[in-house]
Amino acid sequence: VIGVVIGKTDVRGFPDRKNIGCERYTFSFTIRDSPTYFINVNSWGREEYIRSLSESFRVGDCVTIENPLVQSKEAEKEEKFNPVTPSCYKLLLSENHSVVKTSSCYETDTKLLSLLHLPVKDPQDYYSLGDIIANGQSLDGRILNVLAAVMSVS
């Protein structure tokens, strides 16, 4: 799979249920290879492997993923912690079988770079800030998608 990284989480450690006293590490990222399709990628393993993998690329980099495990995602569980994707699958990376290679988007395909700036939500599923201000009371308690741009940072 070749795609541009459009999102990435921090590395986290969790107690390993199988090896008491040890920790397993994880991080996830989302890649996109077309305007319509993007998928979440999860990686679990030893701290050294996960930290090294996480530090090997950043959002905006193009990656090639070789030999991932393709799994069906559990929609309720998956989408609580990861971006909602149009796929009913996720990719799982394993230290022993999978490889992630980075390359310049210009080397891979200049079309991939333009995908970085496309929203991942349906354009009809956003509220403007004006709508939120005008209808604030009726929107109370609802989860809303907001599309905004940063005009300046100071």
With a cut of 80, say whether residue 39 has pLDDT above it.
yes
What is the per-residue pLDDT across 112-135, written as a single tens digit (0 to 9) for each?
A: 777 777 777 776 777 778 888 888
| First and final C-alpha spacing in the chain | 39
Assign 36 a pLDDT band (cuts: 50, 70, 90).
confident
Per CATH, the homologous superfamily of domain 2-114 is Nucleic acid-binding proteins (2.40.50.140)
What pLDDT does residue 88 have? 87
Domain boundary assignment for the chain: 2-114
Average pLDDT over residues 124-148: 79
Q: Whole-prediction pTM value?
A: 0.77
